[in-house]
Amino acid sequence: MAFKSLSSRSPGKPAPVGMTRHAPLLGIALKLSSTFTFFIMATALKIAAEDVPIGQLVFARNFFGLFPVLLMVGLRGELGLAFQTKNPKGHLTRAAVGLTAMVCSFTALYLLPLPDATAIGFATPLFVVVLAFFLLGEQVRIYRWSAVGVGFLGILIVLSPHLGEDELDSASTYGALLGIMAAGCAALAMITVRKLCETERTSTIVTWFAASATVLSLVTLPLGFLLPGQAWIVPDLKTAGLLLLIGLAGGVGQILLTQSYRFADASTIAPFDYVNMLWAIIVGWVVFSEVPVPQVIAGALIVIAAGVFVIYREHKLGLDRTKSRRASTPSRS
């Protein structure tokens, strides 16, 4: 897909590997557009979750989201190549982990105010550092360990309103714990994507996830026989529209995210993930009458500062995450 560059670069200076060309302003604009689109999805999801079981929401997100992905891959002339893989087991593992993250994330989004669920999700890049150290043998020095420690302290502050003595066994406690599980699973999914990027095309990773997650999410269909509250429903016109919006917005958001990394590297793009907190506060207040408590704001600011520092250190150390981020699906997407 051709885009007009919004910034110039010196003649002869090559774009980093995996980029179409170096155009940071365009990359940032696409990234911001993706965060807004994902929040359209999150808003529709939170409304629909009042009537639709989580399993059906996950299926709708993946099934309807598959069509924009296939359209993008087709326009790039890679549709025939997108399903060719050297590592089907790796793709299925990535789909299972990503789907688990999605189930936990969607449930947390339903049980918690938007700002709280969003702030907890910021733990994902912190978990990535920890998992990269233990699973990939990546060297992590004192600066990043310190930032990770401070970041998790911020997460504890965000969690504090949901883990007090009066809150235990409440829906918000379960939501907070599921939010942490979602962040950990999303980080593990990013680690699996990083391994897949060694042999697979970005279009292959994105297409396989969308298709595999659609099929795997059908596993939740029989749950209605065991858990009546999780029985899939026949939606009315309004609810069907919300389900369609969830999938299409998620798919379009994924395309915008993927495209953003074609024009700027990860160290430039990644910090704009934290704009999600702004959308969460605005949408939570306007649509759901949710006002974040001071602990959530304070904790989120600490986590954001730690996350930005981690990104800065990775850029300083030359750890380019561009390709793996392009192929990743955020847990809330």
Name the residue among 123, 137, 268, 253 with its Cα closest to residue 194: 137
* Mean pLDDT within 168-186: 89
Amino acid at 79: L
- Rounded to whole angstroms, what are the CA distances from 219 to 55, 110, 214, 288, 332? 8, 21, 10, 31, 20
pLDDT per residue over 188-226, tens digit each?
998 998 888 888 888 899 899 999 999 999 999 988 788
Q: How confident is the model at residue 9 (pLDDT cuts 50, 70, 90)?
A: very low
For residue 13, how many other CB atoms are within 10 A of its CB? 7
pLDDT per residue over 58-110, tens digit each?
999 999 999 999 999 999 888 888 889 989 999 999 999 999 999 999 999 99
Judged against a pLDDT cut of 90, whether residue 10 lies above it is answered with no
Query: Who's near 9: CB < 8 A, 6+ residues apart?
Result: 15, 21, 22
Percent share of the chain, pLDDT over 70 = 87
* Mean pLDDT within 134-159: 92
Q: How confident is the model at residue 20 (pLDDT cuts 50, 70, 90)?
A: low
Name the residue among 181, 185, 189 with its Cα closest to residue 205: 189
Q: How confident is the model at residue 11 (pLDDT cuts 50, 70, 90)?
A: very low
Please answer whether residues 303 and 115 qualify as being in contact, where contact means their C-beta atoms are separated by less than 8 angstroms: no
Cα 167 versus chain centre, distance? 27
